[in-house]
Each structure stands twice: as structure tokens, then as C-alpha cells.
Structure 1
Amino acid sequence: MSGNDIGSLIYLVLLGAVLMFWLVVQGRQGMGRTLQQMAAWALIFVGVIAAVGLWGDIRQTVAPRQSVIAEEGRIVLPRAPDGHYYATLQVNGTPTRFMVDTGATGTVLTLSDAERAGLSGDDLAFYSEALTANGTVRTAPVTLDEVALGPFTDRDVPAYVNEGEMGQSLLGMSYLQRFGRIEIAGDELVLERGT
């Protein structure tokens, strides 16, 4: 459990304790009515816990997903609720979620995504720098053995690993330029190239 999960659990337990105390204080109305109210609040409490626990699964079910139209050589990425486009690529055989950033020159991995793809943080040399909206950050140039998006597999793909805090890996133009056409139409980002 992460720190956020523990904090949420403590909050829910305290909320439940306050509600139980309130019900006991209100118990002067009669035991039957108090038991009904306790049962109703217990069900609400269990429902909230279930919703919090299942939120990740619910969000993935409801959220739009990327689609691959292999015979047409096309990848269609739906706009996410936050207004960005996301793609899941196989980096050295590991599924990695990227935010598509046409304003970024290079493709940049977070340190954790790089490590999951087999690039050890101990072996990375952070000697280059990148200018970002948040200032200058140190990066380590790397070459990814294999990157696959749908039916398209590329080898020896240049990228960078960000040394600092970064919430999401970025899919920049160094990779996107491999597509012959990049188009935003409606709420979709379309990437096309021959199969």
C-alpha cells in the first residue's frame, strides 16, 4: 500500500467512527430505528470503500483506448479526459505508457520506466541536459533495443532517460517522425505509415 492508500484508509476509518458515534448518540429514538440507520451507513461506508478500491479498474474500463488498424497501417489514439493523447508501446518487450508530445524533440523515459525496460539506473550517464517548461534537467542518452507500437517495430531507437522527477514518459518527435502522417481529427490523434 502506498502512502496515499494508507491516508485514504485512515480517513475512511475516522469517518466511519464519527458516523458510528453519531448513531449511538441518536440511539434515544429506539433501537430498531438506530439499527436501520447503522445498517444504511454501513452499506454506504462499504460502497465508498469498494468504489475507492476499484477506481483504477473502473477508470481503465471507461477510458478510451488506442486502436490499431493494422491493414491500413494506422494507429488511432483517443483524446484522454485531461486533453492529452497517450500511447502504450512495448519498450524492450515491456509495456510502457507514454504521453504523446509533438512539442518535444526527443523521446524521454522516466527513470522507473527505463528500469522496467532493462536500463539500469547505475549504468546511465546523466551528462546531457534538456530545457523543459520547468527548467533545465539532466538526461542520459540511451538506445532502446526495440520499440513496438501496434504492428510497427523499430530497433535501435534513440531516447533519453530523465534524471529528475517526471510523472509520465514522453513520446517525442524523434520517434513520431517515423510516421508518414500525424493528424489530429476531432478527438483522435492518427498516426499512419506503411506496414
Structure 2
Amino acid sequence: MSEIDIGRLGYLGLLLAALVIWMFMQQRGRMAQKLQQLAAWGLIFLAVIAAVGLWDDIRHTVSPQQSVFAEAGRIELPRAPDGHYYMTLQINDTPVRFVVDTGASGVVLTRQDAERIGIAAEDLAFHSSARTANGAVETAPVRLGTVTLGRFEDRNLPAFVNGGEMDNSLLGMSYLQRFDRLEISGGTMVLERR
């Protein structure tokens, strides 16, 4: 648990304590009713804490996911609540979630995703660089053994590992250009490939 989480928990504890004290001060004579109200507020408090703690899991379960129509050679990606499009590819049989970035020329992995797919950190040579909105970053060129999406499989795909901090891996044009059609319409990105 980080210091920020401990601080938030402390704040919520103080808020609950203030609420309990206020409730007892307001209704000094009716102990059974106080306990009943205290139990109700306690359940509400626990429900809010559970919802906040599980929000990422709930959001990913409820939000629409990518759809792969293998026979038609079509992939549909819904726009996420943050306005981006995300695609999950199997790289060396490991699922990796990417932000689809038509402004990026290549595929760029975070260090964590690179390690997950079997690229050892000590094997990375950061001798190239890329320009980003936040300035220049060092990158290490790599090759991805197999990249699979539905029935589509590509081998030996060139990519880079970002030397800086990055929240998500980026799926740029070196992969997207393998599709015959890329269209954004009505909050859905459609990719088609034969």
C-alpha cells in the first residue's frame, strides 16, 4: 500500500469518525435507532470503498471490448472512456494491450510488456531514439517473434522498447499498415484485412 493510499484511508477513517460522532451528538436519547443508523452508514461506507477499489475491474468488465470477426477479416475497436482506442494482440502467446496510435510510426513496447513477452532487460541496447510529444526518448530495437490477432499472424515484426516511462505500449503504423482499411466512424475504429 503506497503512502497516498494510506493517506486516503486515513482521510476516510476521519470522515467516518466525524460522521459517527455527529450522529451520536444529534440523537442522544435513542440508542437503538443510533445503532441502526450507524450500521446503515457503515454498510454505505463499505460499499463506497469496495466500488472505488474495484473500479478498474468493473470498468473493464462493463466497457465494450474489441471484436474480431475472423471470417470477414474485420476488427472493431470501441472508443474507450478516455477517448483512445485499445487493441490486445498476442505476442509470443502473451496478451499485450496497446493504445492504437496512428501518429506513431512504429510499435513501441513498455519495458514491462517487453519483459512479459520474453525480452530480457539485459539484452536491450538503447542506441536509437524517438521524438515524442514529451521530447526525445531512447529506444531499443527488437523483433517480435509472432504477433497474432484472430486469424491474422505476423512474424518477425520490428518494434522498439521505450527507454523512458510509458503507461501503455503503442501500436503504430508499422503494424496498422498491414490492414487494407482503417476507418473511424461513430466511436468505433474498424480495421479490415484479407
Q: TM-score range by the shorter chain?
A: over 0.9
User: For structure 1, which runs of at least 5 residues remain unmatched after alignment?
Assistant: none
| 1:87–1:100 Cα contact (<8 Å) kept | yes
Deviates more, 1:1-10 or 1:81-90: 1-10
Q: 1:70 to 1:49 in 2, by over 3 A?
A: same
Deviation, 1:5, is 4.5
Distance 1:14 1:33 in 2: 23
Residue aligned with 2:18, SS: helix
Question: 113-122 or 49-58: which moved more?
Answer: 49-58
- Contact 1:141/1:158 (<8 A) preserved: yes
Name 2:169's counterpart in structure 1.
169
1:29 CA displacement:
3.8
The residue correspondences of 1:6-45 to structure 2 (distance < 5 A) are 6-45=6-45
Q: Distance in 2 between matches of 1:28 and 1:147?
A: 68
* TM-score normalized with structure 2 length: 0.93
* 1:53 CA drift (Å): 2.7
Q: Does 1:99 align with 2:99?
A: yes
SS of residue in 1 equivalent to 2:28: helix
- In 2, the alpha carbon distance for the partners of 1:65 and 1:146 equals 22
Partner of 2:78: 78
- Distance in 2, Cα, partners of 1:159 & 1:4: 35
Q: How much has 1:2 moved relative to structure 2? A: 5.2
Residue 57 of structure 1 corresponds to 57
How many residue pairs get matched?
Answer: 194
Please report how far the alpha carbon of residue 182 of structure 1 lies from its aligned counterpart in structure 2 after TM superposition: 0.9
Task: Give the deviation of 1:154 after TM superposition.
Answer: 0.7
Q: Percent identity?
A: 65
Distance 1:6 1:75 in 2: 42
AA aligned to 1:183 is E
Query: Shift of residue 26 of structure 1?
Result: 3.4
**Structure 2 residue matching 1:82: 3-state secondary structure:** coil
1:119 corresponds in structure 2 to: 119
Summarize deviations over 1:65-122 as a string: whole Å, max 9, x none. Answer: 1001111011111111111110011111111110000010011001111111111111
Work out the CA distance in 1 between the residues paired with 2:143 and 2:2: 32
Structure 1 pair 6–156 and aligned structure 2 pair: CA distance change class (3 A): farther
Partner of 1:143: 143
Q: Tell me how large the CA RMSD over aligned residues is.
A: 1.6
Structure 1 residue 22, shift from structure 2 partner:
2.6
- Would the aligned equivalents of 1:26 and 1:34 in 2 still touch at CA under 8 Å? no
Contact 1:144/1:158 (8 A) holds in 2: yes
